A and B are shown apart, each in its own frame.
Chain A
Amino acid sequence: MKKFILDLKITQKVQLNKQNVLLKLTSKDLLPEILPGQFAEIRVDGSPATFLRRPISINFIDSARNELWLLVQIVGEGTKHMAEMNPGDLLNAILPLGNTFTIPSDKNAKIVLIGGGVGVAPLYMLGEKLKKLGYKCIFLLGARSRSDLLLLNEFEKIGQVHTTTEDGSHGEKGYVTQHSLLFNSDFDYIYTCGPTPMMKAVASYAAKNNIFCEVSLENMMGCGIGACLCCVTDTTEGNLCVCTEGPVFNITKLKWQI
């Protein structure tokens, strides 16, 4: 897919909670095709501390409005700066980057999308695509507490949603992998994105139950286009760039101890 360097204009900023904002952005040109799981490399100007671009996964494409959504969690200087931007401001982005999730061949496949924290971002776009294609998706979303569950209303519009919180303030208390939904599982496909320990636990569950499972990794990146070789992950094919060979990997390819 051809990649572009675009100046995107913020049309709307939604403060989801203290740590997370949803930025809706538009481009003066028609946005290129972008697939679920792909990401953008965002330039954050203005500070020597934010030298490199920030990889941010694409949360949703609203084709009718020529809008792209980015879910931004404030983790450092760069994302803090992004969260402080306002409608009308421009963000320079390189996109679309990376690969996408594998769409099941069987329309009746039982699918669960398991997200943790800001990791729900690419799963929303994937769920929306699967729904459009006629698949039924179940979402299992986990967070520390009720206020950390992001875009809950949006997810409820496209599928059945189950939640876990560590403090029990929403859904079942505990981690996603402890949710009763997974007790008697007959899922055919699992897609997951979230903190690495969570994804490893999900991968371990999938491997034990022989379920197809794809994870979306979030390594530190230099270039985002496969040139610097900084974001590699260890796979059965050696060190592969997460930015070009991923960010979506089948768990059978990763050398995770699960």
Chain B
Amino acid sequence: MANLITKLGRLQMKNPVMTASGTFGYGTEYSDFMDLSRIGCIIVKGTTLRERQGNQYPRMAETASGMLNAVGLQNKGVNYFIEHIYPTIKDLDTNVIVNVSGSEIDDYVKTAEIINELDKIPGIELNISCPNVKEGGMAFGVSCAAAAKVVSAVRKVYDKELMVKLSPNVTDIAEIAKAVEDTGADSISLINTLLGMAVNAKTRKPILSTITGGLSGPAVKPIALRMVWQVAHAVKVPVVGLGGIMNATDAIEFMLAGATAIQVGTANFINPAISEKIVEGINDYLDTNNFSSVAEIIGALEI
């Protein structure tokens, strides 16, 4: 049994396996399928200051080795979260952090301020990369100046783990990563979904109500790996890798490329027990290859 304990900025985790926001509900949806206390961290779905109904159906299109979604941050708002969800998850024997989204800097700041008061929420993931909201989200994640502005504003009011989730829909992701590191991010997660599109040839219409949506699943893995590798070389803060991780081998590849921890996303839909299996698989890999701790494989890519 190798040492899987992972330190991510101010956050200490049992192991490097986290579940990606928007793919794991509030965790409790998965409790029939696995022991939630076995994973390192649950990131609950995108939470905004006020309730959002999200986009119209259809919001999803299956694509080759992946899927497009255009949910549009449907959630009942941060106050509902505190009143109705927080009591059901605060005593889970694992880290639970909240993905915070917004369309204006003030929304991010207010939401982060409110969550800062919750004892059992040791961190937030700042989502500056959602491609499915017209009025913002990704807009903050595609320019260094805008990213720096929102991160520094949130940093002022939030004193726990501040992880910033980056968009891959940019020319130079390392530049954006540096900008959020410089303005106070404790860690950086990437990648959010890639902007894509699906067309129905029969009806000659787009499949998604929003025309475009975010691509996830194994189809995006090579891009995610490349970006994690680039960012891990550009910043000193820990990097969290995600994008198409379906099994422990995928997870290990991201860690070799420089990720301190990883997030399991779309794979949760295919196998709702997979996150726990990935923890076991990482441990098996470490044991088989005579590593005594998971830290030894971070960035251990031999070039």
Residues of A within 8 A of B (CB): 2-5, 43, 48-53, 94, 219-234, 238-239
Contacts and interface: CB of A to CB of B under 8 A. Distances in A.
B65 interface: yes
A230 B65 contact: no
A230 B64 CA distance: 18
A34 to B, nearest CB: 14
A160 to B, nearest CB: 36
B177 interface: no
Contacts of B23: 223, 227-228
B238 interface: no
21 contacts: A2-B32, A3-B32, A5-B273, A48-B65, A51-B64, A51-B65, A94-B272, A222-B60, A222-B67, A225-B29, A225-B272, A226-B29, A227-B24, A227-B25, A228-B22, A229-B45, A229-B71, A230-B59, A230-B60, A230-B71, A232-B59
Contact of B217 (A43, A51, A239): A51
Contact of B269 (A48, A49, A52, A220): A52
Given A48-B65, A225-B30, A228-B71, A233 B57 contact: yes
Interface residues of B, number: 34
A222 B269 contact: yes
Contacts of A222: 60, 67, 69, 269
Contact of A5 (B56, B71, B271): B271
Contact of B30 (A50, A227, A233): A227
Interface string B46-79: 0000000110111111111111010100100000
Contacts of B30: 225, 227
Contacts of A231: 57, 60
Nearest to A77: B62
A232 B270 contact: no
Contacts of A226: 25, 29
Nearest to B32: A3
A232 B74 contact: yes
A246 B269 CA distance: 18
Nearest to B51: A238
A220 B58 CA distance: 8
A94 B33 CA distance: 10
A144 to B, nearest CB: 18
B89 to A, nearest CB: 14
Nearest to B271: A5
B29 A227 contact: yes
Nearest to B70: A230
B53 A238 contact: yes
Given A229-B71, A231-B57, 7 more contacts: A5-B272, A5-B273, A221-B60, A226-B29, A227-B268, A230-B59, A230-B60
B206 to A, nearest CB: 14
A49 B74 contact: no
B33 A229 contact: no
B212 to A, nearest CB: 15
Contact of A220 (B29, B60, B64, B270): B60
B132 to A, nearest CB: 11
Contact of A52 (B54, B56, B67): B67
